[in-house]
Amino acid sequence: MNFALPIEKPAALHVQIEHLLRSQIRMGKLRPGSCLPSTGELARQLDVNPSTVQKVMARLSADGLIVRLPKRGTFVKSQESPMVIGVLVGASLANDASYFQRAIFEHLRLAITEINPRWTCRLYDALTALKKTPDFSHTFTYQHFIDDFQNCPFKGLILISGDVEDEIQKNRMIAGQDLPIVRFHPAWDKSPSDVMMDFYHFGRESIEFIAQKGFKKILYLRTLNDATDPTFDLKGIGDASKALGLPKVEIHPLSCDWLTGNQLEQTAFKETRRILEKNENARPDVLLVSDDIATRGVVRAFVEKNICSRNLSSPSSNPDRTGPGILTMANEGIDLHYALPVTRYEFSPKTLAMKLLEILQRRITGQSLPDLPIRIPGSIRVKNP
């Protein structure tokens, strides 16, 4: 096999040669057991000094990619290491508000090894915040990812809620691999995504459920994005309200500048307290909330005002001193204690994880894909304290 090296002036020659050989081994062009040219022959083909090739061989040998046998030659070692699925997450999973992303990752981690025992997944998170730094390519997480990519055989990438693909693809080594990628972004129309949460269904089904219970005046505490954007949840709410002849839903956007779950909860608490301080006749029948951590702040305001939320599953059972009902977007299998009756529209992180893996497997094996993006709806569940 003949080798040619596209010279890249900023990188040292031994680094370029090492990347070339690692890539050939990873892609299977240099198969386990195949014999590499001698140091002198490889130096001649690449037009470099033999000492440069010797340095590269020493590193590849130390990493277990090749074996050097005296008087026999240098051979590509059989690769027993597992194939890696890289999971790149925009949010920091250490953030208390990132439990949905944590749940998706856990389902991915368990499912990947069940699909193929020789597959494993590695996590690289907090990428959205790192992208805002002056030099993303020199951050620890990015360098960790690149080091792993150089030293481990990657099978594919899963991107979760983080628009960093453009930064990743700037690396020539990654861009040249044509690695299968699958993407999940919650719902924003402007972000490319293979799997999405069906926020239109959330908006429409929530309004229909509330109307079925005999309530008409609805206020929406919205954390998703700028409330003036024509995103899917607002369209679902608007379509259902119009079809049912309901008054226009009042939209209260919550500030999106929080960094933690506690800050989001506090923001929702203050906004709900202002709503409850209105005359009873001016209050909404139901508060629709787009985040269950925000709902904890909503409930705190109810408790402070000594007001009980309406039980939406059984309106006739509500006591005299009853405030608005509460319906919140939430995550299946992640139960928060509210202390008051709360109805939940639940998305399943497991279903999302399985769909991401299904699409990735199809891309890895070259199978045909379903129509994309796939929108995953949730379902309504009543949760009593």
Q: pLDDT higher for 209 or 133?
A: 209
Based on the domain organization, do 137 and 275 belong to the same domain? Answer: no
Q: List pLDDT tens digits, range 178-233.
A: 789 999 986 544 567 899 999 999 999 999 999 999 999 999 999 865 444 458 89
The predicted structure's pLDDT at residue 137: 77
For residue 218, give the CATH number of its domain.
3.40.50.2300
Residue 385 lies in a domain: no
Residue 6 lies in a domain: no
Task: Kindly state the average pLDDT of the residues 157-179.
Answer: 75
Strand-pair partners of 124: 88
Residue 217 lies in a domain: yes
Based on the domain organization, do 203 and 329 belong to the same domain? Answer: yes
**Which of 105, 108, 148, 101 has the alpha carbon at shortest distance from 361?**
108
Task: Kindly state the average pLDDT of the residues 101-120.
Answer: 89
Based on the domain organization, do 294 and 204 belong to the same domain? Answer: yes
Based on the domain organization, do 232 and 277 belong to the same domain? Answer: yes
Q: For the chain, how many structural domains are there in total?
A: 3
Based on the domain organization, do 205 and 330 belong to the same domain? Answer: yes
Residue 341 lies in a domain: yes
Based on the domain organization, do 94 and 156 belong to the same domain? Answer: yes
**Which of 288, 332, 293 has the alpha carbon at shortest distance from 310?**
288
The predicted structure's pLDDT at residue 185: 81
Give the domain range for residue 44: 13-76
Residue 4 lies in a domain: no
Based on the domain organization, do 214 and 328 belong to the same domain? Answer: yes
Tell me how crowded residue 253 is: count the other CB atoms within 10 A of its CB: 16
- Where are the alpha helices (H) located in the chain, listed in sequence order? 13-26, 39-46, 50-62, 99-115, 127-131, 140-151, 165-169, 172-175, 199-212, 232-244, 261-276, 292-304, 349-365
The predicted structure's pLDDT at residue 242: 97
Based on the domain organization, do 340 and 203 belong to the same domain? Answer: yes
Q: Is 265 helix (H, G, I), strand (E, B) or coil?
A: helix
Task: Kindly state the average pLDDT of the residues 72-91.
Answer: 82
Distance of CA 269 to the CA centre of its chain: 27
Q: Which of 38, 55, 76 is the last residue of a domain?
A: 76
Q: How far apart are CA 322 and CA 286, in angstroms?
A: 11
Q: What is the pTM of this model?
A: 0.75
**Which of 247, 248, 340, 342 has the alpha carbon at shortest distance from 291?**
342
Residue 66 lies in a domain: yes
Residue 3 lies in a domain: no
Residue 383 lies in a domain: no
Based on the domain organization, do 246 and 129 belong to the same domain? Answer: no
Q: List pLDDT tens digits, range 337-352.
A: 888 999 999 999 999 9
Based on the domain organization, do 262 and 328 belong to the same domain? Answer: yes
Based on the domain organization, do 208 and 336 belong to the same domain? Answer: yes
**What does each C-alpha distance from 72 to 37, 69, 75, 347 come to in angstroms?**
11, 5, 9, 59
